[in-house]
């Protein structure tokens, strides 16, 4: 490769040639499409009717309907045609959809309370974990704490236990404390799991903020706490937000603890979704509708988190 | 890397006697709470919470592992049986078989993820147009709930109605109802490896990308000047410099896969028979179906010590590689 050629293509020596790029691009796009296909299939299934969802061969082109969503949010009872005939004509669009199958809406399903549980437990544990994690991370980052490395490793090692193993003593402990199947119990548990991630991530973020700013603030007569509030926190805001989203995603997605420690009152979405049963087995459109609604926030967060993703999934062990 | 002992006796490690680094004039003029108090106050809540929710239950579990406690017969007095539970587990052929199943799952899925992930990272590192958009698409699966993933793959893999079998039969001519990815002894272990790879290969890819981007350009430029072939460049520059990152990815994935419960529980529930019964599923059955708390506590401890020991040895090796 001569200098003249290098100039004419305006590439650095190590940049790939356009042909290599096109080849690499094609392969990656192919993989991405194969990856996304299952997800798209689920989103499509959410808009199918029961019969279309289990049709053979699998239907790619179908008449979209909101039946899945209606089934997800309601409990229905089957009625005799005579009974249906005596009823007044259905007024709303969802009544009409249900009436088609000789059914009547009997009431709301449990999906809304389950969603609310997911939200309350998710946000509650995220807030607590980020709050505690910020304080601990600041201390680890700025003060010399004896055995800091051991403590940090201890905090990390709490994540190595299989959740099923942790659930055994937690279950017994919660029975004693009347915390089984309560939101408070789940919030405390998820906070404990999340706080390790929060401490590790936030310590990385705070380490990157130069100490000089605080030193200057201290010289100006600020106390430590004022310096933390007015100098460090504003600079760590992005890091704190990213950490919060990671904690939220964990609590949102967590299944093992949820399925073992909740049964009704505090049950979250992940253990609930697989058990949306219609007549004659799984009501796939309703399950797919629940999955779709459940996954939408995660997709948005993933796009938001692109920059911090690497750090978050490796506990800050790898940085870009 | 800390020792097991710090985990069991964490309380002596909690007194921060703060030595201010490089006593600057600023630090000496601080008013309000002293730094020592603040360090204490800031670390204490986190440690307290972890002690309450993690360590105290763990110690309780260690105690229970020496008893014959069974929750379905909890009216019986607590009886200490010494090391009986551990003996029962370690002499039980079934348990060894489950460990073998788990080891096979961990090794094959991690290997496949490393190959796919590293390959993808090499391709994306070519920086073609639109690469960041497609990378984000590829990353989506690992952000989903394993429960939801296990559940919807169940639909995709249905022998009668699932699109997966249909596509396979389109290309191979095998009738789609003649095989079941989750219901056949020969296929089920590969199914969980496949789904796990779909979900987690992007994770390995992300870590490898970080590794590839950490290699400075001038090394490649020097290689170009020396007329090293692309093949040679890959073997002598790219691979050696990404190995520490690859090792880290393997560590994280191996720990996660050893703990794997949610996705497999929903996809195959350990079946058919017990071909995909990973140890965490065995543990769940012993603890939350048969209610053998003493026995399952002992099993949990054996698993934890295994993961912890293996991780420790591995991290030492990783540090050696890094120092090279």
Q: Give A-chain residues touching B151 at CB under 8 angstroms.
A: 273-274, 287, 291
Regions of chain B short of the pLDDT cut 70: 1-32
Rounded mean pLDDT of A259-273?
93
Q: What pLDDT is recorded for position B254?
A: 94
Smallest CA–CA distance from B158 into chain A, residue: A54
Burial A194-207 (b: 16+ CB within 10 A, else e): bbbbbbbbbbbbbe
A313 touches chain B (CB under 8 A): yes
Record the tokens describing residue B225, joined without a space.
């000047």
- The answer to whether the pTM exceeds 0.75 is yes
Cβ neighbors of A155 (< 8 A, separation 6 or more) are A195, A196, A199, A200, B46, B50
Q: What pLDDT is recorded for position A7?
A: 41
Smallest CA–CA distance from A275 into chain B, residue: B151
Using CA atoms, how far apart are residues A136 and A199, in angstroms rounded to an integer? Answer: 6
Q: Give A-chain residues touching B21 at CB under 8 angstroms.
A: 144
Q: What pLDDT is recorded for position B50?
A: 93
Residues of chain A numbered 183-212 and touching chain B (CB < 8 Å) = 188-189, 191-192, 195-196, 199
Q: Give A-chain residues touching B26 at CB under 8 angstroms.
A: 215-216, 218-219
> How many cross-chain Cβ pairs, A to B, lie less than 8 Å apart?
340
Calculate how close chain B gets to A15, using CA atoms only, in Å: 8
Record the tokens describing residue A88, joined without a space.
């007044």
Q: What pLDDT is recorded for position B88?
A: 94
User: SS3 breakdown of chain A: % helix, strand, coil, rounded to 5?
Assistant: 70, 5, 25
Residue A282 is inside which H or E element, if any?
strand A281-282
B115 touches chain A (CB under 8 A): no
Q: What pLDDT is recorded for position B192?
A: 95
Predicted confidence (pLDDT) per residue in A146-164, tens digit: 888 888 888 888 888 889 9
Number of neighbouring beta carbons within 10 Å of residue B322: 11
Cβ neighbors of A72 (< 8 A, separation 6 or more) are A109, A111, A276, A286, A289, A290, A293
In terms of pLDDT, which residue wins out, A79 or B149? Answer: B149
Beta carbons of A162 and B136 less than 8 Å apart: no
Residues of chain B numbered 208-267 and touching chain A (CB < 8 Å) = 209-211, 213, 217, 220-221, 224, 245, 248, 252, 255, 258-259, 261-262, 265-266
Mean pLDDT of chain A: 89
Q: Give A-chain residues touching B139 at CB under 8 angstroms.
A: 302, 306, 309
**Most B-contacting residue of A31, A165, A228 (CB-CB within 10 A), to test interface:** A165
Which of A164, A192, A215 minimises the CB distance to B261? A164
> Please, which residues bridge with residue A103 across strands?
A78
Beta carbons of A253 and B145 less than 8 Å apart: yes
Helix (H, G, I), strand (E, B) or coil at B318: helix
Beta carbons of A256 and B261 less than 8 Å apart: yes
B288 touches chain A (CB under 8 A): yes
Cis peptide upstream of residue B272 (ω within 30 degrees of 0): yes
Smallest CA–CA distance from B139 into chain A, residue: A302
Using CA atoms, how far apart are residues B38 and B42, in angstroms rounded to an integer? Answer: 6
Using CA atoms, how far apart are residues B196 and B268, in angstroms rounded to an integer? Answer: 13
Q: What pLDDT is recorded for position A279?
A: 66
| Nearest partner of A208 among A240, A235, A244, A242, judged by Cα | A235
Helix (H, G, I), strand (E, B) or coil at B127: coil
Residues of chain A numbered 15-54 and touching chain B (CB < 8 Å) = 15-16, 20-22, 24-25, 27-29, 31-32, 35-36, 38-39, 41-42, 45, 53-54
Highest mean pLDDT among A17-26, A196-205, B28-37: A196-205
Predicted confidence (pLDDT) per residue in A84-131, tens digit: 888 888 878 888 888 888 888 888 999 999 999 999 999 999 999 999
A162 touches chain B (CB under 8 A): yes
Residues of chain A numbered 227-266 and touching chain B (CB < 8 Å) = 249, 252-256, 259-260
A65-71 long-range contacts (CB < 8 A, ≥24 apart) are A65/A97, A66/A93, A66/A94, A66/A97, A67/A97, A67/A285, A68/A283, A68/A284, A68/A285, A68/A286, A68/A288, A68/A289, A69/A286, A69/A289, A70/A94, A70/A97, A70/A98, A71/A278, A71/A283, A71/A285, A71/A286, A71/A289
Calculate how close chain B gets to A311, using CA atoms only, in Å: 9
Smallest CA–CA distance from A38 into chain B, residue: B156
Beta carbons of A168 and B297 less than 8 Å apart: yes
Sign of the C-alpha dihedral computed for residues A7, A13, A15 and A17 taken in this order: positive
Q: What pLDDT is recorded for position B258?
A: 94
B134 touches chain A (CB under 8 A): yes
Which ranges of A46-110 would DSSP assign to H, the alpha helix? 50-53, 67-73, 81-86, 93-99
Which ranges of A208-254 would DSSP assign to H, the alpha helix? 211-219, 224-227, 233-253
Calculate how close chain B gets to A240, using CA atoms only, in Å: 16
Number of neighbouring beta carbons within 10 Å of residue B49: 18
């Amino acid at each position: 490769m001569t200098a003249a050629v290098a100039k004419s293509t305006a590439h650095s020596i190590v940049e790939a040639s356009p042909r290599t790029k096109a080849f690499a691009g094609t392969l990656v796009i192919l993989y991405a499409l194969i990856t996304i296909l299952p997800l798209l299939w689920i989103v499509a299934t959410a808009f199918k009717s029961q019969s279309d969802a289990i049709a053979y061969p699998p239907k790619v082109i179908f008449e979209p309907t909101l039946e899945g969503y209606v089934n997800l949010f309601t409990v229905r009872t089957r009625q005799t045609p005579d009974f249906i005939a005596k009823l007044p004509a259905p007024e709303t669009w969802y009544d009409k959809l249900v009436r088609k199958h000789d059914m009547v809406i009997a009431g709301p399903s449990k999906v809304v309370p389950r969603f609310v549980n997911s939200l309350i437990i998710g946000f509650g544990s995220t807030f607590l974990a980020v709050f505690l994690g910020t304080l601990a991370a600041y201390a680890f980052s700025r003060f010399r704490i004896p055995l800091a490395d051991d403590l940090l490793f201890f905090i990390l090692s709490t994540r190595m236990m299989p959740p099923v193993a942790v659930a055994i003593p937690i279950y017994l402990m919660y029975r004693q404390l009347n915390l089984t199947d309560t939101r408070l119990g789940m919030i405390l548990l998820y906070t404990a799991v999340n706080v390790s991630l929060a401490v590790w991530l936030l310590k990385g973020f705070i380490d990157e903020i130069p100490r000089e700013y605080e030193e200057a603030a201290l010289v100006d007569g600020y106390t430590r706490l004022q310096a933390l509030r007015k100098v460090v926190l504003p600079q760590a805001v992005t890091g704190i937000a990213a950490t919060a989203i990671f904690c939220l995603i964990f609590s949102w997605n967590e299944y093992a603890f949820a399925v073992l420690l909740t049964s009704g009152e505090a049950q979250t979405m992940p253990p609930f979704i697989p058990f949306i049963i219609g007549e004659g087995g799984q009501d796939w459109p309703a399950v797919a509708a629940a999955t779709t609604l459940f996954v939408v926030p995660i997709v948005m967060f993933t796009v938001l988190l692109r920059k911090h993703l690497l750090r978050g999934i490796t506990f800050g062990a790898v940085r870009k | 890397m800390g020792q097991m002992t710090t985990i069991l006796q964490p309380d002596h490690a909690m007194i921060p006697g703060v030595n201010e680094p490089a006593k600057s004039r600023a630090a000496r003029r601080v008013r309000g709470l002293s730094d020592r108090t603040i360090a204490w106050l800031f670390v204490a809540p986190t440690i307290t919470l972890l002690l309450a929710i993690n360590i105290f239950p763990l110690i309780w579990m260690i105690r229970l592992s020496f008893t014959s406690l069974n929750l379905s017969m909890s009216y019986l007095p607590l009886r200490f049986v010494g090391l009986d539970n551990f003996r029962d587990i370690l002499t039980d052929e079934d348990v060894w078989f489950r460990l073998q199943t788990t080891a096979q799952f961990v090794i094959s899925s991690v290997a496949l993820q490393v190959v796919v992930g590293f390959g993808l990272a090499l391709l994306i590192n070519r920086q073609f147009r639109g690469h960041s958009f497609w990378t984000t698409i590829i990353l989506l699966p690992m952000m989903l709930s394993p429960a939801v993933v296990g559940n919807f793959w169940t639909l995709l893999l249905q022998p009668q109605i699932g699109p997966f079998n249909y596509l396979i039969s389109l290309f191979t001519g095998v009738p789609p109802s003649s095989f079941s990815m989750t219901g056949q002894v020969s296929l089920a272990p590969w199914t969980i490896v496949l789904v796990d790879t779909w979900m987690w290969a992007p994770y390995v890819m992300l870590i490898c990308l970080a590794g590839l981007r950490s290699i400075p350009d001038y090394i490649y430029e020097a290689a170009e000047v020396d007329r090293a072939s692309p093949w040679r460049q890959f073997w002598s520059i790219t691979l050696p410099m990404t190995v520490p990152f690859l090792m880290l990815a393997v560590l994280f994935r191996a720990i996660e896969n050893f703990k794997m419960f949610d996705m497999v529980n929903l996809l195959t529930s350990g079946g058919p028979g017990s071909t995909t019964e990973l140890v965490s599923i065995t543990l769940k059955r012993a603890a939350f179906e048969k209610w053998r708390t003493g026995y399952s506590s002992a099993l949990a401890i054996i698993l934890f010590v295994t993961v912890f020991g293996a991780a420790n040895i591995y991290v030492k090796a990783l540090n050696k590689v890094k120092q090279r």
